Structure 1
Amino acid sequence: MERNELYPIFLKVSHLKVLIVGGGNVGLEKLTFLLKSSPRAQVQMVAPEFLSDTLELAKKHNVEITKDVYADHFLKGKHIVIACTDKPKVNEQVYHDCREQGNLVNVADNPPFCDFYMGGIVTKGNVKVAISTNGKSPTTAKRLRQFFEDVLPDNIDDLVNNLNKYRKTLKGDFEQKVEALNEFTKGLVSNKD
């Protein structure tokens, strides 16, 4: 059985600069999901043409739109790059340029040319769950996202906020605080003996 060796992280994309290369349907999809999760993301999109829906969404979120063909100078100062043109050679060039310049890159629907995958995301207030299928099945990630959206209660954010208040009242070292919070939250998980 193959192991998923991806390391999940949650990025503050309002502090990072993201470049999306491509203005078609996949570019719109990537921009939509990025902004749904992080509405203040710093994004520039580069493409010779853009869908009207992309331009409308970009305007609402201060996304920089650049009507131009891709060139490696667009990578300067960018932390994360998403290549999603309908031209495989352009996407692969973006990947190789990113490798040379040290940018993290995702080439849509091309796992060998990805440093990261954009998985399924469930958000309920401060709780965010990311789902990965190791790039094998976006459909499974979508179904799991729908499952967790149904299973996680809408008021889970109340629990998070209350635990945060409780945590601030605790005295002692890190281990004592962890022990107290574990005791307080053990009812959230039912033991099946």
Structure 2
Amino acid sequence: MAYFPAFLQLKDQRILLVGGGAIAAEKLEKLLDFSKEITVVAREVSDPVARLAREHCLTLLPRAYRSGEALEYDLVIVATDTVDLHRQIFEETRSSRVLVNSVDDTRYCDFIFPSYVRQGDLTVAFSTSGSSPAFAKHIRRWFEGILPEGVGEFLAQMKRLRNELPKGRERMQRFDTMARDFIERNFPRREK
């Protein structure tokens, strides 16, 4: 079954990343686009994970995961090569509201990491529900190639106007026209 596309607000959410290798570094880089409230626990920590933790003042616990520890967090990412640990953490959190992602093992996932493009407030995510992360990566790269510069600035302008203009039909129509005009000026037209 396909995953429901939802965007999570990570502000004030406690995030635990279990693992310190190359895949953990990849997930950590993505998480840092949206939050700095991240704790990393890993027996062995790669240089990239250590550097990111240091640069972003993250909590780094150089030790093994402790049973039940996931319950102290809101979001848990398990990026290890130990399937038993993935299963253990997933099972520990079943009676709680903790969301778990087990890298490369959708059996133990409440959510998956999509491939995404971010420019200012625009975030576009691509997912194959775990069928082919490689396909999602390549479609993201294609989209990055057609995404014009200036989208972030345009959205910042729209945000300012949202705060300045009174709510109502006129404001909605103005925003609709501005968005349509921006897209028509800046995106390639699709051939029918």
TM-score (norm 2): 0.85
Matching of residue 130 in structure 1 with residue 128 in structure 2: no
Could you tell me the percent identity over the aligned residues? Answer: 26
Partner deviation per Cα, 1:133-191 (whole Å, 9 max, x = no partner): 11111111111221121111111123223333444454452x44323322333332569
Structure 2 unmatched ranges of 5 or more:
none
2:16 aligned residue: 19
* Match among 53, 78, 81 for residue 83 of structure 1: 78
**Gap change, CA 1:5 and 1:46, over 3 Å in 2:** closer
User: For 1:171 and 1:50, how far apart are their aligned partners in 2?
Assistant: 51
User: For 2:162 and 2:138, how far apart are their aligned partners in 1?
Assistant: 34
5 Å-filtered alignment, 1:68-107, equals 68-107=63-102
**Gap change, CA 1:56 and 1:112, over 3 Å in 2:** same
User: For 2:157 and 2:58, how far apart are their aligned partners in 1?
Assistant: 35
On the 8 A contact 1:15/1:41 being kept in 2, the answer is no
Q: CA RMSD in A?
A: 2.2
SS at match of 1:31: helix
TM-score (norm 1): 0.85
- Counterpart of 1:156, as a letter, is V
5 Å-filtered alignment, 1:27-176, equals 27-35=24-32, 37-38=33-34, 40-171=35-166, 173=168, 175-176=169-170
2:173 aligned residue: 179
**Gap change, CA 1:177 and 1:89, over 3 Å in 2:** same
Structure 1 unmatched ranges of 5 or more:
none
